[in-house]
């Protein structure tokens, strides 16, 4: 399944490692109480405005670095 293959990507590994730092959680992990199919690509924000600002500034920094390379 293409959607589940996302969990084998570098992006998913980064999310698993860093998402909590930015107050993001996996929306539908395996065995979720909502009984929604596992969606490794589906993350949601659960945090403060300050945490969202930190996440956004981190993304801007990353994009700037990529442009410089």
pLDDT for res 29? 94
Tell whether the model's pLDDT for residue 37 goes beyond 80: yes
Strand partners, 44: 25
Tell whether the model's pLDDT for residue 15 goes beyond 80: yes
Residue 63 CA, distance from chain mean position: 16
pLDDT for res 59? 67
pLDDT for res 55? 73
42-52 burial: b if 16+ Cβ within 10 Å, else e:
ebeeeeeeeee
Helices in 1-69 by DSSP H: which ranges?
2-5, 10-18, 49-68
Q: Which residue has the higher pLDDT, 58 or 16?
A: 16
């Amino acid at each position: 399944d293409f959607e589940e293959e996302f969990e084998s990507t570098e992006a998913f590994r980064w999310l698993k490692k860093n998402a909590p730092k930015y107050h993001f959680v996996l929306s539908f992990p395996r065995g979720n109480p909502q009984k929604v199919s596992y969606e490794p690509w589906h993350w949601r924000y659960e945090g403060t405005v300050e945490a969202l600002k930190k996440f956004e500034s981190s993304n801007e920094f990353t994009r700037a670095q990529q442009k410089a390379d």
